[in-house]
Chain A
Amino acid sequence: MKKIEPWVPLVLTLILAAWFLGSIPAPPDSTFAFNSFGKLPVVFNGRLKPIDSLARTSLLEIREKQTLNTEPWKGWNDDPKIISATEWLATLMMNPAVADTWPVFRVDNPDLITLLKLPDASAAQRQDGKHYSWNQMAPSFELLEKENDRVQKIESVQRSAYEAAVAKIFDRLMLYAQLKNTLQPQDALDWKQELADYQALIPAGVAAIRAQQAKQPYDATAYNAFIDDFQRFDNMSQLQSPLVVPPDDPSGNWQRIGNILLNAAKGEKIPAAVTAYADMGDAFRKNDPAAFNAALADYRASLVPQFSGALHKAQSEVFFNQMQPFYGALVIYVIAGLLAVCFWFRLSETLRRTAVWLIALAFVIHTIGLVYRMILEGRPPVTNLYSSAIFIGWGAVILGLVLEKIHRNGIGAVVSAGIGFITLVIAHNLAVDGDTMEMMRAVLDTNFWLATHVVAVTTGYASTFVAGFLALIYILRGFFTSTLDEATGRSLARMIYGIVCFATLFSFVGTVLGGIWADQSWGRFWGWDPKENGALIIVLWNALILHLRWGGMIRERGLVNCAIFGNVVTSWSWFGVNMLGIGLHSYGFTDAAFKWLSLFVLSQLAVIGLGLLPDRMWKSFQASA
Chain B
Amino acid sequence: MRTLVDRVIALFTSLRLTVVLLAFAILLVFIGTLAQVDEGLYNAQARYFRQWIILSLDLFGHPIPLLLPGGYLIGTLLVINLVFAHVWRFQLTVKKIGIQLAHAGVILLLVGQLATDMLAHESQIRFAEGQSKSYGENARANELAFVTDSGQGAQQVIAIPDSRLVPGAVITDPNLPFTLRVQTYWSNSEPTFRAPMMKNGPLLASNGVATRFDFHSVPETRDPDEKNVPAAIIEIVTPSASLGTWLVSGWTCDDTMIELVRQSYMQEVGTDMAEKITAQLTQPQTVTVDGRTFTFSLRPQRVYFPFSLQLLKATHTVYPGTDIPKDFRSRVHLRNPTTGENRDVEISMNHPLRYAGLTFYQYQMDAGQAALQAGRAPTSVLQVVRNPGWLTPYVGCAMVALGLMIQFLFHLVGFLSKRRSP
Q: Which residues of B contact A547 (CB under 8 A)?
A: 15, 18-19, 22
A197 CB–B CB distance under 8 Å: no
Q: Does A533 contact B (CB under 8 A)?
A: yes
CB atoms of A537 and B30 under 8 A apart? yes
Contact stretch, chosen from B139-147, B239-247, B268-276, B387-395: B387-395
CB nearest neighbor in A for B325: A442
Q: Which residue of A lies closest to B50 (CB)?
A: A528
B58 at the interface (CB under 8 A from A): no
* A439 nearest in chain B by CB position: B319
A505 to B399, CA, bound (A): 12
C-alpha gap A343/B402 in the complex (Å): 40
Residues of B within 8 A of A517 (CB): 350
Chain B residues whose C-beta falls within 8 Å of the C-beta of A541 in the assembled complex: 26
Stretch at the interface among B34-42, B204-212, B304-312: B34-42
Q: Which residues of A lie under 8 Å from residue B416 when comparing CB positions?
A: 406
Instruction: Provide the residues of chain A in CB contact with B45, threshold 8 Å.
Output: 528
Interface set, chain A 59-115, CB cutoff 8 A to B: none
Q: Residue A523 contacts which of B30, B326, B327, B359 (CB distance < 8 angstroms)?
A: B359
Give which listed residue, A45, A498, A529, contacts B415 with CB less than 8 A. A498
Contact A442 B44 (CB under 8 A): no
- Interface size range on B against A: 35 or more
How far is B359's CA from A453's CA once the two chains are assembled, in angstroms? 22
Cα distance, A502 to B318, chains bound together (Å) = 40
Q: How far is the CA of A504 from the CA of B22 in the complex (A)?
A: 14
Check if A523 sits within 8 Å of B319, measured CB to CB.
Answer: no
CB contact under 8 A between A46 and B393, given known A505-B404, A540-B29, A550-B15: no
Asked whether, in the complex, the Cβ of A509 is within 8 Å of the Cβ of B408, the reply is no
- Asked if A449 is an interface residue, CB under 8 A from chain B, the answer is yes
B178 part of interface (Cβ distance < 8 Å): no
Contact (A46, B318) CB under 8 Å given A445-B326, A537-B29: yes
Decide if A395 is an interface residue (CB 8 Å cutoff). Answer: no
In the bound assembly, the distance between CA atoms of A515 and B390 in angstroms comes to 11
Query: When the two chains form their complex, are residues A46 and B324 in contact, meaning their CB atoms are under 8 A apart?
Result: yes
In the assembled complex, how far is the CB of residue A516 from the closest CB belonging to chain B, in whole angstroms?
Answer: 6
Across-interface contacts of B280 in A (CB, < 8 A) = none
Report chain A residues within 8 Å CB of B400: 508-509, 512
Q: Are B393 and A516 in contact (CB under 8 A)?
A: yes
Q: Would you call A188 an interface residue if the criterion is a C-beta within 8 Å of the partner chain's C-beta atoms?
A: no
Q: For A581, give the chain B residue with the smallest CB separation.
A: B37
- Residue of A whose beta carbon sits closest to that of B18: A547
Q: Does B188 contact A (CB under 8 A)?
A: no
Q: Give the chain B neighbours of A201 by CB distance below 8 A.
A: none
Q: Mark A580-601, 1 if CB is under 8 A from B, else 0.
A: 1100110000000000000000
Given A498-B412, A544-B26, A533 and B393 contact (CB-CB distance below 8 Å) = no
Nearest-neighbour CB distance to chain B for A446, whole angstroms, equals 5
**B328 touches A (CB below 8 Å):** yes
What is the bound-complex CA distance between A504 and B411, given in angstroms? 14
Quick one: given A441-B325, A509-B397, A540-B25, are A502 and B408 in contact (CB under 8 Å)? yes
- Tell me, rounded to whole Å, the shortest Cβ–Cβ distance linking B156 to chain A: 31
- A530 — which chain B residues lie within 8 A by C-beta? 33, 36
B15 partner residues in chain A, CB cutoff 8 A: 547, 550-551, 553
- Distance between Cα atoms of A512 and B401 in the complex (Å): 10
Q: What is the minimal beta-carbon distance from A455 to any residue of chain B, in angstroms?
A: 14
The answer to whether B327 and A442 have CB atoms under 8 Å apart is: yes
- Closest B residue to A533 using CB positions: B33
Q: Is B69 an interface position by the 8 A CB rule?
A: no
Q: Are A584 and B37 in contact (CB under 8 A)?
A: yes
Provide the bound-state CA to CA distance between A529 and B42, in Å: 10
Determine the residue in chain A with the shortest Cβ distance to B405: A505
A577 within 8 A of B: yes
A547 to B19 CA separation, bound complex (whole angstroms): 6
CB-based contact B383/A516 at 8 Å: no
Any B CB within 8 A of the CB of A254:
yes
- A494 contacts partner chain B, Cβ-Cβ < 8 Å: yes
B32 & A553 in contact (Cβ 8 Å cutoff) = no
Residue of B nearest to A504 (CB): B404
- Tell me which of B34, B322, B385, B412 contacts A45 (CB under 8 A): B322
Structural contact, A254 and B390, CB atoms closer than 8 A: no
A47 interface contact, C-beta 8 A: yes
A46 touches B29 (CB 8 A): no
Beta-carbon contact of B363 and A522 below 8 Å: yes
**Bound-complex Cα distance A462 to B240 (A):** 76
Q: Which of B37, B116, B408 contacts A501 (CB 8 A)?
A: B408
From B49, B361, B412, contact of A521 by CB (8 A): B361
Is B370 part of the binding interface, using a Cβ–Cβ cutoff of 8 Å? no
Of all chain B residues, the one with the shortest Cβ separation from A240 is B321
Contact among A441, A523, A537, A544 with B352 in the assembled complex (CB-CB below 8 Å): A523
Contact partners of B18 in chain A: CB under 8 A: 547, 551
Q: Cα distance A541–B416 when bound, in Å?
A: 26
A278 to chain B, nearest CB (A): 21
Contact A523 B320 (CB under 8 A): no
A524 neighbours in B (Cβ, 8 Å):
122, 385
Q: Assuming the A-B contacts A46-B320, A580-B36, are A548 and B19 also in contact, with contact meaning beta carbons closer than 8 angstroms in the complex?
A: yes
Q: Which of A514-566 contact B (CB under 8 A)?
A: 515-517, 519-530, 533-534, 536-537, 540-541, 543-544, 547-548, 550-551, 553
**A256 is an interface residue with CB less than 8 A from chain B:** yes
* A166 is an interface residue with CB less than 8 A from chain B: no
Chain A residues numbered 437-474 whose CB sits less than 8 Å from any CB in chain B:
439, 441-443, 445-446, 449
B320 close to A243 (CB less than 8 A): yes
Q: How far apart sit A527 and B26, CA to CA, in the bound complex (Å)?
A: 16
Given that A498-B415, A530-B36 are contacting pairs, would A537 and B321 also be in contact in the complex, using a CB cutoff of 8 Å?
A: no
Return chain A residues, CB-CB under 8 Å to B363.
522
**Proximity string of chain A (467-510) to chain B, C-beta cutoff 8 Å, 1 when within and 0 when not:** 00000000000000000000000000010001001101100110
Which residues of chain B are near A218, meaning CB under 8 Å?
none
Q: Mark B15-29, 1 if CB is under 8 A from A, else 0.
A: 110110011011001
A439 and B324 within 8 A (CB): yes
- 10 A-B residue pairings within 8 Å (CB atoms): A43-B321, A406-B416, A439-B322, A442-B328, A498-B411, A502-B408, A504-B404, A530-B33, A540-B22, A547-B22
The 8 lowest CB-CB distance pairs between A and B, nearest first, are: A46-B319, A523-B385, A551-B15, A512-B397, A442-B325, A544-B22, A46-B322, A505-B404
